[in-house]
Copies of this chain bind each other. A is one copy, B any other.
Amino acid sequence: MEGVSPEEIAEKIREVSIAEFFEKNRHLLGYENPTKSLFTVVKEGVDNSIDACLEARILPKIKVSVKHVGENVYRVKIEDNGPGLPPEKIPIAFGKFLVGSKFYRYRQSIGTQGIGIKGAILYAQLTTGKPAKIISYYKKKKHTFELMIDVLRNEPKVVSYSAENISEELHGLSIELFVEGRYVEKGQSIPVYLKYLWLANPYVEITYDGPENGFKLEPVVNELPPAPKEIKPHPYGVELGRFRRMLQLTNAKTVSGFLSSEFSRVSPQTAEKICKLARVDPKKHPKNISDEEAERLHKAMQSIKLKAPPTNCLSPLKEDFLAEALKKEFQPEFVTVVIRRPNVYRGNPFQVQVALAYGGKINEIQSGQQAAILLRFANHTPLLYNQSDCAITRAVEEVDWRNYGLSQSAGSFPQAPLVIFVDLLSVWIPYKSEGKQAIAEYPEIIKEIKLGLQEAGRRLAVFLHKKIMREQLRMRANIFEAYSNVFSEFVAELTGKDLEYIKRKILELIKKGEFKEGEEKRLKEEVIEVK
């Protein structure tokens, strides 16, 4: 053979660290070009800040600064008023991939994997060679770290650390990074991201100081959504391999105890039933369960009828709050919000929140474009990239918007001055990649989004119908009014009554004709209209 021998191949086999992997594959984390990279750095920082504030039940105040400091180089700084973090945890929380607090927790949050912010720090040191500066305001002290990632070992490298006393009861965290990038003001951009983020989280205060522009987004509500509760995994969502591992790791002393304590919706009675169905002794120690028994238990668990998982692990935004934010941003003629009931895919609870805003300033924003504007969100975070490849987009395209009085060519967006808002909430958002910009096309998810859009669409149809009716009546009234003088004179002559009296009577008649009482009432019940 002229080729490489198996021994030579074997020689070359070596391990790479997860940090090396992501350094080489940075496009997987959203760092494939300078524009998207700068955007991703900001997004990861802001997402982290919001998660931290929500977890501590603090109304978030976030400051974002992006400054041009050299050719293609930007300084990004994100500050929050969250709880801060104990200094001893800073290095691994920021300097080591696959370390985090949320990987196995079943509740809604933006971050989950212990990857996002490390990706930003890695990108900074890769492109500008500069460490991340992290400040934690915690227990009357200001802890300042300069931090890098030791890529070959996936370990944090503390370049410098200092602590100083602070008098006030400050708390929060700030991170500063120097990164290569390209700044854009519109479209898939940092300002648009922040605005949409505020839209889905209108209790957040965001101060933005950009290289070209700045703004402050004030909260329109002063109340956090209910705190999502942590739940146990639901049996339907746990695969055999993981189930077997759970058996090995549990502290429970019996199989039935294991089943009822480690899964949601499995009561002690249900646990007994599962054991019986699987022909496994419920008193047996979990560690002594054979592979065959585990397989039977797993199968029984999947086949038994169980209640859907609890859904207090999700935290939708109140209808009014979202409507308020949409009104402020788009000043539409009409807005409606639909919150679907929670549902389940692969054992994971999820919930869809949909809104439609029609007319008003949306006409201007579209500026000649006819297609509706889609705003996609996952756990209240905007998704700006990969729209064409997302479950939300698919759902919008699959709805027949012509049913609701809009024009649409098959399989595309409706043509109207319309903003379509879709937010998917879940304990586990199935992103298509770690860049977290598009949602995988699970049929259950697409179906729920479509049902939400259809409900909102019906409400829009009623509004549009009413609008058309009202316009027709107004037109009729206008015509009538234009002729009312001539008509009044004619009637006065005919009846011999006072001309002014006749005129007044006819005008009253016109006004009264504008709406038929009952009809208006019926419409009001179906439509939540802009005041």
Residues of A within 8 A of B (CB): 1-7, 9-10, 12-18, 20-21, 23-25, 27-28, 32, 52, 54-58, 83-86, 88-89, 92-93, 96, 98-105, 113-114, 122, 125-129, 138, 151-152, 171, 227, 239-242, 244-245, 291, 294-295, 386, 388-389, 430, 432-434, 440, 442
Contacts and interface: CB of A to CB of B under 8 A. Distances in A.
A23, A122, A127, A245: most-surrounded residue (chain B CB, <10 A): A245
A247 B96 CA distance: 22
Contacts of A389: 386, 388-389
Contact of A57 (B1, B126, B138): B1
A86 B17 CA distance: 24
Given A5-B83, A240-B127, A433-B432, A99 B14 contact: yes
A55 B2 CA distance: 9
A128 B243 CA distance: 11
A99 B20 CA distance: 12
B16 A103 contact: yes
Task: Report the copy number of this chain in the oligomer.
Answer: 2
A1, A3, A24: most-surrounded residue (chain B CB, <10 A): A3
A85 B10 contact: yes
B16 A105 contact: no
A291 B451 CA distance: 57
Contacts of A129: 240-241, 244, 291, 294-295
A65 B84 CA distance: 56
Given A239-B126, A389-B389, A85 B9 contact: yes
A5 B433 contact: no
Contact of A101 (B9, B28, B430): B9
A231 to B, nearest CB: 15
A15 B96 contact: yes
Contact of A6 (B83, B114, B440): B83
Given A4-B56, A57-B1, A13 B99 contact: yes
A98 B16 contact: yes
Contacts of A388: 388-389
Nearest to A53: B3
22 contacts: A1-B57, A1-B83, A3-B57, A3-B83, A3-B227, A5-B56, A5-B83, A13-B99, A14-B101, A15-B114, A16-B104, A18-B21, A25-B434, A28-B433, A28-B434, A126-B239, A126-B240, A129-B244, A129-B295, A151-B241, A152-B245, A386-B389
Contacts of A440: 27, 32
